[in-house]
Amino acid sequence: MGGVFDKCHKGTDNQGRQPTSNGAGRGYEHSSTPPAVVPRPKKDNDVSVNAGSQDIFTALYQFEGRTEGDLSFQQGDKLKILNFSGDWWHAKSLVTNQEGYVPSNFVALVKSLDAEDWFYRNCTRSDATNRLMVPGLVPGTFLIRESESKPGTYALSIRDESNGPPHVKNYRISNTTDGQFFIAEQKKFPTLQDVVEYYRGDNSGLCCRITDACPKESPTTMTLGRDIWEIERSSMVMMSKLGSGQFGDVWKAIWNGKTPVAVKTLKEGTMSPEAFLAEANIMKGIRHNKLVNLYGICSEKEPIYIVTELMKNGALLTYLREGDGKFLSLRTLVDIAAQIAQGMSYLEERSYLHRDLAARNILVGENNLVKIADFGLAKLVLDEHYVARKGNKFPVKWTAPEAALYGTYSIKSDVWSFGILVSEIVTKGVMPYPGLSNSEVLDQVQRGYRMKKPQHCPESLYRLMCKCWLENPQDRPTFDFLYNYLDDYFVSQEPEYKDPEGF
């Protein structure tokens, strides 16, 4: 067995840096009033809105109402918010004078940073790089984001092509004790907007002059509408089957005649409807931009439907094996792993387990942005062949030995699964432990063997995977550590890395 398994490097360093922003999104959820915001000074052409208004918001994106109580609007429309509670705010359009509910993540307070097309509040350095490296963007395309390493400060990310192929340069925007901002200390500005205005005309100290704001795609709404949870089965039109799995089929569907969604249909008898409803009520409160949005359920009869946001590029496993993922560089693959670790760090903070973390349960959107799906469902399964831990359906190759042998699940068993998931990512979808059956894997792992380093996998990345597979669960790293390690990987671990030929 030595050709398939190998002893891992041992290590107990599982201490991460301070937790980072969870990225769950800006908003004033469950509040009747917004927090105080220092407005941008009014300019001469801002004639319609008082700069001090705390209830006047601007539409960041177009929105077409889906239900009778929704308020449609165009990008740039001004809205007066009448009630700030929940994910859907009661608003009045200052353009049409109509009232209705609007998704809170589609609007921002006028004159605030969130209203600027170049400002990205919850955006990591890796996310910024992904966005700015999209083909077709012009040199100087930029965004400003909150700094991860120094909370309360900001960073400017710019697409540069002045010295070879496109790449991204990052500049820290510091602030003074009296609230001014600067990149170069000799040139200070009262607002970030003034920083942008200056460097659009002068590239002093920067790689190039900044030009266009990095384009923003319209976000998904948190839910399908205000107070929508139990969804009428008749409102769903199934369009095409996206895949099949242990628990049922996944379909692309249209809700209410206009909204694309994904629908997971659970096989009858897969899980107790009562247990599912209880768990679904917990799941709907777990939100993060690296977790697939749970929109609602159809639970009044079987088969139960789980309705979620639709991710454009489907399951990560298929994307890596058959889609554009076949051509991704290691840098992008490591970034995908970092995104997953970020989402799992959020679950870790809330002591919520996934139990079935694998590439088949990660979904891919645009620009190689990924989200975690199916968190929490595995523990509800009643299928005796799935529960039988050596059965063909049970995911032995992804499951920590304490969970596979004794049913002992913890966030640390999810960490073990994450290490296996990283091997799937770096091999672009190769089955873990190739050539071995589930029972052989279970037997060998108990003996202390671990999967051999995949081809083209850097030694430093393999060492991280092996830390995830330490025998004592408490010695395995936290997801916060894994996220920070992977997010900084090509800065701190492999700064000179280049993909080998044929990768």
Residues with a known catalytic role: 356
Query: Cα 119 to the chain's mean position, in Å?
Result: 18
- Angle (nearest 5°) at CA 347 between 342 and 352: 160
Spatial neighbors of 322 by CB under 8 A, at least 6 apart, are none
DSSP run (H or E) holding 248: strand 248-255
- Exposure b/e, 334-355, CB count within 10 A at least 16 = b: bbbbbbbbbbbbbbbeeebbbb
407 conformational bin, left if phi > 0, alpha if psi -120 to 50, beta if neither: left
Residue written as tokens 């790689």? 207
* Distance, CA of 201 to CA of 204 (rounded, Å): 9
Please give the sequence-ordered ranges of beta strands (E in DSSP) within 199-326, or none if there are none. Answer: 236-244, 248-255, 259-266, 294-298, 305-308
Does 397 count as an annotated binding residue? no
Spatial neighbors of 455 by CB under 8 A, at least 6 apart, are 427
Span between the terminal Cα atoms of the chain, in Å: 26
Name beta bridge partners: 146.
154
The H-assigned helical ranges of 306-400 are 316-322, 330-349, 384-387
Query: Cα 454 to the chain's mean position, in Å?
Result: 26
* Distance, CA of 149 to CA of 222 (rounded, Å): 28
Give Rg (Cα) of the chain: 24
Q: Which of 132, 178, 195 is nearest to 158 (CA)?
A: 132
Residue written as tokens 């801002």? 46
* Distance, CA of 500 to CA of 503 (rounded, Å): 6
Residue written as tokens 């909204």? 259
Q: Are 191 and 181 in contact (CB under 8 A)?
A: yes
- Angle (nearest 5°) at CA 152 between 206 and 87: 110
| Sequential DSSP letters for 467-503 | HHT-SSGGGSPPHHHHHHHHHTIIIII-TT--PPTT-
* Distance, CA of 431 to CA of 355 (rounded, Å): 18
Preceding omega of 303 cis (within 30 degrees of 0): yes
* Distance, CA of 123 to CA of 84 (rounded, Å): 24
Could you tell me which residues are annotated as the binding site? 264
Could you tell me which residues are annotated as the binding site for ATP? 264
